[in-house]
Chain A
Amino acid sequence: MQINPGYGYSFTSSGGGHNLTIDQPWFPWPIIEEDLPPFTIVDESVGATYKFRAVPGMVNSTIPQIGITADATKRLDQLPIPTTTFNFDATTHYSYIYLKVSWLSGSPDMYPVTDQTDILYPRVISTSMENVSTDDSGYLLLATAYQEPTTNVITIWQLTTGSQWTDRLKTGTDTARYYFATA
């Protein structure tokens, strides 16, 4: 048997034996997020702290933040992986997890808002009630979550996944309408 030279290793032989030397170890290996579709909601609850994360995705090529504050470290692709708290209704025990995309009036208008320091930047939020789109914000329901009131076990129903493309159209005095399509 003969081993020929190749890229990334060397091979030597002598009377004492054979040596295979890897020139440059392929390390560290990249850490790849689990193979879940964008905007999959994952329970990250620890003890009595009930929180979740969202697999990174895009809306109009913008990666949203998670939670209700403008915080660049809460962008979905940041490390450590950002989370936010479930907001359950005290009676129904349900939470509604939305992709919220807002509009900013200006010259020109901006939709979605691309300034990460602006609370209007796209974000994944949890609310205790269903949201209705307004002139200012459109809501895409990503998932619902239910917390069993005695065991506190959380069940998540994922309703839609995938990066999104969205348009905002307003006619006259009617409330603006928002159209989402999986990118």
Chain B
Amino acid sequence: MPTAPTYTRTTTFVGGSTGSPSTWGALRSVIYNRTLSGSPIASSGGVGGHTVDYDHGFQTTNGNGLIRTEGGFLYLGTAGSGPNFNAYITSGINAKFSSDYEASALGWITNEDRAQLTGETVALSSGSITMAASAFVSPFQTFTASSTPTINTIGKLTAF
């Protein structure tokens, strides 16, 4: 089970003070793909620069895959936990599919988005599963996998 990174909210916004920005872009984020290595944020993405390049995550074919969240890079000021999906081996062939760092009623992915995502087909590097509501709540959704999986698609969301 990965360890949650720490973050601080240091984003500067209108008026020069710090706090919670409320602009459209600041309150959106891609869903991170934690089955890929490295930071989802491009190394050139500047903190507080009102710009961010996502190196990997999930996006729709005709859109950008951004979801409404307070876990976005521009909101947090650093690449924090953020909305994400993960799949990993726990022991042997036992594996878990999870949206890490979520709580039952509050998290980076809103309840509305959770409801839409639940039931979607998750295509893994080997095989597929149907996302269950338990993916959002520890101890998360279980499945079996012969090797460490990566997530290719989740319904309309495609890994990039």
Measured CB to CB, the residues of A under 8 A from B are 60-61, 103, 105-112, 165-174, 176-177, 179, 181, 183
**Inter-chain contacts of B45 with A (CB < 8 A):** 108-109
Q: Which residue of A lies closest to B56 (CB)?
A: A172
Decide yes or no whether B52 CB sits under 8 A from chain A: yes
Are B50 and A111 within 8 A (Cβ)?
A: yes
Q: How far is the CA of A17 from the CA of B15 in the complex (A)?
A: 55
Are A177 and B74 within 8 A (Cβ)?
A: no
**Inter-chain contacts of A108 with B (CB < 8 A):** 44-49
Question: B interface, how many residues as a size bin?
Answer: 20 to 34
Are A169 and B25 within 8 A (Cβ)?
A: yes
**Inter-chain contacts of A168 with B (CB < 8 A):** 25, 50-52
A169 contacts which of B13, B14, B44, B51 (Cβ < 8 Å)?
A: B51
A-B contact pairs, 5 of them (CB 8 A): A61-B16, A109-B44, A111-B51, A166-B50, A171-B54
Q: How far is the CA of A172 from the CA of B23 in the complex (A)?
A: 22
Q: How far is the CA of A45 from the CA of B53 in the complex (A)?
A: 42
Taking the closest CB of chain A, its distance from the CB of B102, in whole angstroms, is 22
Decide yes or no whether B94 CB sits under 8 A from chain A: no
Q: How far is the CA of A110 from the CA of B44 in the complex (A)?
A: 10
- The verdict on A179 contacting B25 (CB below 8 Å), with A168-B50, A170-B54, A172-B56 known, is yes
B44 contacts which of A60, A107, A174, A176 (Cβ < 8 Å)?
A: A107
Are A173 and B160 within 8 A (Cβ)?
A: yes
Are A181 and B64 within 8 A (Cβ)?
A: no
